[in-house]
Structure 1
Amino acid sequence: MKKNVLIIGAGGVAQVVAHKAAQNNDILGDIHIASRNIAKAEDIIAGVLEKRALKQPGGVLRAHTLDALDVEATKALIRETGVQIIINVGSAFINMSVLRAAIDTGVAYIDTAIHEDPAKICETPPWYGNYEWKHAEECAQKGITAIHGAGFDPGVVNSYAALAVQDYFDDVDSIDIIDVNAGSHGRYFATNFDPEINFREFTGTVYSWQQGAWQSNKMFEISRTDDLPVVGEQTTYLSGHDELHSLSRHLPVKNIRFWMGFGAHYINVFTVLQNLGLLSEQPVTTAEGLEVVPLKVVKAVLPDPASLAPTYTGKTCIGDLVKGTKDGKDREIFIYQISDHKEAYEEVGSQGISYTAGVPAVAAAMLVATGEWDVRRQANVEELPPHPFLNLLNHIGLPSRIREGDDDRALDFARDDAGKWRVA
């Protein structure tokens, strides 16, 4: 059994991870938080203590200064703290550095997003093949558990997809992942997570998996409108996203697409910024001879996503619309989760988007700790058993539901007499 956790990062998602790890420190053990800005890590610890989140009072909860791009420094911190599980919720730019440190020190690794090169946007699919999957053989040889994309999307939606393929269909024709934030932060313009990473998702080619091949589109070129549970009728746009690049490899499904909701105001501001060149990741030189990256300047002037939490209201709806056949008949189900921004803030001090990303990472760490997901190889979430993951999420803050026709019910799980998981 693995114990003791190192959380890398000190943003809104890290805050959620710290609170949830504290609530389950009987399983996870010591909790360490590392960031280039130790003050932010210390603020998270203060919030955890203020809310008395530690399930076992007196447990280790400590902040550290770390530049996670420094592999040797990360390895030294791992050895110093004695952690056995890393939860990496820092910038996507550090993934390969942290993974390298984990492999070299023999500890388990979990992240929530795909690695990115700061100088490149929308590389050739499949994106995991450009970085993460190159380490698969080494992880297997050394017995390293490395779980990639264990947030919500990617993460929980991958598990929904695996569950649908395994339990609900004989043949799946399409999986449409729909992500809607129907909340309001009250600011003129802001992004719900790191603006640099957020904008990079939408400035390149939109890749989707259709008819068993990659298809290219432009952002905001294709839309759909759905009547969704709780949040009602919503328009979403075909977008490129991490999970498509692993699901297309690991599941026998011809059509896998990702749709994200955007309001008209977001689209207008985004379009102006992009047309002005302000979303470029390539450096430019000012009249004063200063070299700056426009995208980083935009990030610097926008609100810190963590600052949105206190006044955020409304709900999110994220799920998988799956179509196929069962017993020779057409079937359609929507497996989904609803989160409330205000409730998330009251519990952990973060808004709902951070909450949905952070809770699954802790669930993954708990399953690694107990051995159910300690697979001693590299894996994406859809390759791992979905039932224990989704069942655990039901109990620690992210309960799932399933809608089929007029039937909308909680998605519950139980073990049968033989100890095998099943849908209750």
Structure 2
Amino acid sequence: MRKNVLIVGAGGVGHVVAHKCAMNNNVLGDICIASRTQQKCDAIIESIRRKNHLKDETKKLYSRKVDAMNIPSLVQLIKDTQSEIVINVGQAYVNMSVLEACIETGAVYMDTAIHEEPDKVCENPPWYANYEWKRRERCAEKGVTAILGIGFDPGVVNAWCALAQQDYFDHIDTIDILDVNAGSHGKFFATNFDPEINFREFRKVWTWIDRKWVLQKVHSIKMDYDFPVVGNCPVYLTGHDELHSLSKNMDAHSIRFWMGFSEHYINVFTVLTKLGLTSEKPVKVTEGVEIAPLKVLKALLPDPSSLAPGYVGKTCIGNFIRGTKDNKKREIFIYNICDHAECYQEVESQAISYTAGVPPVAAAILVARGEWDVKQMVNVEELNPQPFIKLLTSMGLPTEVLENPVTFEPPVIESLESV
């Protein structure tokens, strides 16, 4: 049985991960939160104690300062804290260094997003093959459990695909993952998670159609869909992490990702992009200093973790899946509804961070129990979804299934380029 958790990263998602780990520390053991800025870790610890979420007071809850790009420092931290499970919720740039430290120490590795290099944006698909999957054999050789993309999307939506394949379909034709935030934070403009990573997503749209990768322009294909609870919302075809493993592991003709954006968001994003402020490429200012405009924009926009107080409304994330069962056509919508205000009341967070932060803790519990300690590198859809979905329901993220939902009918999508 695995015990003791090291959480790398102290942002909005790390905040939720720490709360939920504390609420389950009778299973998970000691908890260390580590970041470049130790005060952010300590603020999370204060929040946990304020909400009285440390279930077993005999277990340790503490912080450490670490540079997550420094592999020897991470190795030493894992050893010093005797952590057997590492939950990486730092920026996507640190994934490979944290993974390397876990391979060296034998600790379980988990992350919630795909790896990125700071100077490379939207590389050719499948993205996992560029970095993570190159370390798959080493994980198997050393018996290291590495669970990739165990947030919500990627993460829970992958498990829903596995559930659909296991219980609902004999053959799956199409999977459309729909993610909409129908809440309001009251700010003129803000992103719900790291603006730098957020805007880097919106350069190219790689999507999986007719069993091949095709390229489309960002925010060029829009649909309206009548979601359960939150109602009719616009969604745009977008590239996303989970497509890059589902295309390999699911026998489906087409797998697409759609994200909801308001007209205001699209307008502001378009202006910022046309001005060059979403660029990751450094520019030289008059004083001779070089800085990436995107980093300036990140510094100017509200910290996503600051949005939680007063956030109202709900999110809806779901998979619209079409296929056949017993030679009959079938359509289902597997989804979750999450309420911003309820998340804040429970863990002082907003729903976007909550939906991303609860799943890795559920996975950590399953690993600690031995159910998901597979001693190899896997994406979520390669694991048994049943215990995960059941545990998520008890932890605040229930799964709902609609048979014969409102039909989602995307237009024919032509490729600008294919791989």
TM-score range, shorter chain: over 0.9
Aligned counterpart, 1:251: 250
Aligned counterpart, 2:409: none
Alignment of 1:65-104 (within 5 A): 65-104=65-104
SS in 1 for 2:39: helix
Q: Report if the CA contact (8 A) 2:333-2:405 is conserved.
A: no
Query: For 2:142 and 2:287, how far apart are their aligned partners in 1?
Result: 51
Deviations 1:313-332 (A, max 9, x none): 10000010000011111100
Report the AA paired with residue 149 of structure 1. Answer: G
Report the AA paired with residue 316 of structure 2. Answer: C
Aligned counterpart, 1:108: 108
- Range that drifts further, 282-291 or 77-86: 282-291
Aligned counterpart, 2:364: 365
Query: For 1:244 and 1:384, how far apart are their aligned partners in 2?
Result: 17
Query: For 2:304 and 2:12, how far apart are their aligned partners in 1?
Result: 7
Question: CA offset at residue 223 of structure 1?
Answer: 1.3
Aligned counterpart, 2:414: none
Alignment of 1:231-246 (within 5 A): 231-246=230-245
Question: CA offset at residue 58 of structure 1?
Answer: 3.1
Alignment of 1:10-409 (within 5 A): 10-202=10-202, 204-405=203-404
Query: For 1:163 and 1:234, how far apart are their aligned partners in 2?
Result: 26
Report the AA paired with residue 161 of structure 1. Answer: C
Which stretches of structure 1, 4 residues or longer, exceed 4 Å deviation after superposition? none
Question: CA offset at residue 311 of structure 1?
Answer: 1.2
Query: For 2:365 and 2:145, how far apart are their aligned partners in 1?
Result: 13
Query: For 1:319 and 1:336, how far apart are their aligned partners in 2?
Result: 4
Deviations 1:111-155 (A, max 9, x none): 000000010110000000000000000000000000000000000
Q: Report if the CA contact (8 A) 2:331-2:405 is conserved.
A: no
Deviations 1:268-327 (A, max 9, x none): 010001111111111110122110101001001000000000011100000100000111
Superposition TM-score, scaled by structure 2 size: 0.96
Question: CA offset at residue 224 of structure 1?
Answer: 1.3
Deviations 1:223-269 (A, max 9, x none): 11111100001110000000000000011111000000000010001
Aligned counterpart, 2:416: none
Report the AA paired with residue 184 of structure 1. Answer: S
Q: Report if the CA contact (8 A) 2:362-2:392 is conserved.
A: yes
Aligned counterpart, 1:415: none
Query: For 1:241 and 1:16, how far apart are their aligned partners in 2?
Result: 22
Kindly report the root-mean-square deviation, in angstroms, between the aligned alpha carbons of the 2 structures.
0.9
Query: For 2:97 and 2:16, how far apart are their aligned partners in 1?
Result: 23
Identity among equivalent positions (%) equals 61
Query: For 1:265 and 1:92, how far apart are their aligned partners in 2?
Result: 27
Aligned counterpart, 1:418: none
Question: CA offset at residue 78 of structure 1?
Answer: 0.5
SS in 2 for 1:310: coil
Query: For 1:390 and 1:265, how far apart are their aligned partners in 2?
Result: 35
SS in 1 for 2:68: coil
Change (3 A) 1:209 1:406: closer
Aligned counterpart, 1:416: none
Deviations 1:332-381 (A, max 9, x none): 00000000000001111110000000000100111111111100000000
- Whether 1:4 and 2:4 are equivalent positions in the alignment is yes
Query: For 1:224 and 1:264, how far apart are their aligned partners in 2?
Result: 13
Question: CA offset at residue 205 of structure 1?
Answer: 1.3
Report the AA paired with residue 350 of structure 1. Answer: S
Query: For 2:92 and 2:267, how far apart are their aligned partners in 1?
Result: 26
Query: For 1:109 and 1:406, how far apart are their aligned partners in 2?
Result: 37
SS in 1 for 2:308: helix
Query: For 1:103 and 1:288, how far apart are their aligned partners in 2?
Result: 43
Query: For 2:109 and 2:51, how far apart are their aligned partners in 1?
Result: 28
Query: For 2:75 and 2:190, how far apart are their aligned partners in 1?
Result: 35
Query: For 1:233 and 1:330, how far apart are their aligned partners in 2?
Result: 25
Query: For 1:161 and 1:224, how far apart are their aligned partners in 2?
Result: 22
Question: CA offset at residue 406 of structure 1?
Answer: 6.8
Query: For 1:216 and 1:121, how far apart are their aligned partners in 2?
Result: 14
Report the AA paired with residue 124 of structure 2. Answer: T
Deviations 1:164-202 (A, max 9, x none): 111101110000000000000000000000000000111
Query: For 1:216 and 1:289, how far apart are their aligned partners in 2?
Result: 37
Query: For 2:38 and 2:355, how far apart are their aligned partners in 1?
Result: 24
Query: For 2:333 and 2:403, how far apart are their aligned partners in 1?
Result: 7
Q: Report if the CA contact (8 A) 2:330-2:404 is conserved.
A: no
Structure 1: stretches of 5+ with no match in the other structure = 408-424
Superposition TM-score, scaled by structure 1 size: 0.95
Aligned counterpart, 1:417: none
Query: For 1:276 and 1:286, how far apart are their aligned partners in 2?
Result: 15
Query: For 2:14 and 2:347, how far apart are their aligned partners in 1?
Result: 11
SS in 2 for 1:225: strand
SS in 2 for 1:353: helix
Q: Report if the CA contact (8 A) 2:74-2:98 is conserved.
A: yes
SS in 1 for 2:331: strand
Query: For 1:263 and 1:227, how far apart are their aligned partners in 2?
Result: 15
Change (3 A) 1:406 1:104: closer
